A and B are shown apart, each in its own frame.
Chain A
């Protein structure tokens, strides 16, 4: 099973700042099959990125995904108030597993 480690566990930033979230896999993720989700309290997760870098329908372009192999990054170029949430990565190249999440909180 591929284990995904997300870092940092918590990221404290101000609106307007850039957020960089990391997702590291214990083995190479086949075909860069890596997705990112956003989850707000009391809500279901929302798909942001699939295939490591393809934005889902309706996702603003301030969200971008990059990386390959074992190292992946989600970048939010300028944080908006509605972006403060928990973010999960998920690999689907070999069975599927989720990372433990990064909480992006208001500083």
Chain B
């Protein structure tokens, strides 16, 4: 069965960086992209970006451009999301999710059929 297993919780200071991992199993990794979605405490869902499992092509949400970087390691079937220059409002649970394309995968039109368990990132001085 499809599983996405994420790394554990992190506590970071403002200005630092965090890198969250997401290890995939149960499907052909290069056949799907992965997205990252975050959820601040008590809030809704915010899409952060997408990375192709095939060629590592990335698409980032406009409001995070320049601060976020998504990568994959196909040999270990693992995706990574790094967020830099952390602020207190980056405190959230960060989810990876397998992305299904509504049409062209290189346009951000995805829905998400499997999700990781989430990784809480707390930004506090």
Contact = CB atoms under 8 A, between A and B. Distances in A.
Interface of A: 31, 33, 35, 37, 44-47, 50, 56-57, 88, 90, 92-101
Interface in B87-125: 95, 97, 100, 102-103, 108-118
Contacts of A56: 113
Contact of A45 (B45, B46, B110): B45
B66 interface: no
B108 A96 contact: yes
Interface residues of B, number: 21
Interface of B: 37, 44-47, 95, 97, 100, 102-103, 108-118
Given A88-B44, A98-B47, A44 B117 contact: yes
The prevalent SS among residues of B at the interface is: strand
Contact of B109 (A44, A88, A93, A98): A93
Contacts of B111: 33, 35, 47, 50, 90, 92, 96
B40 to A, nearest CB: 13
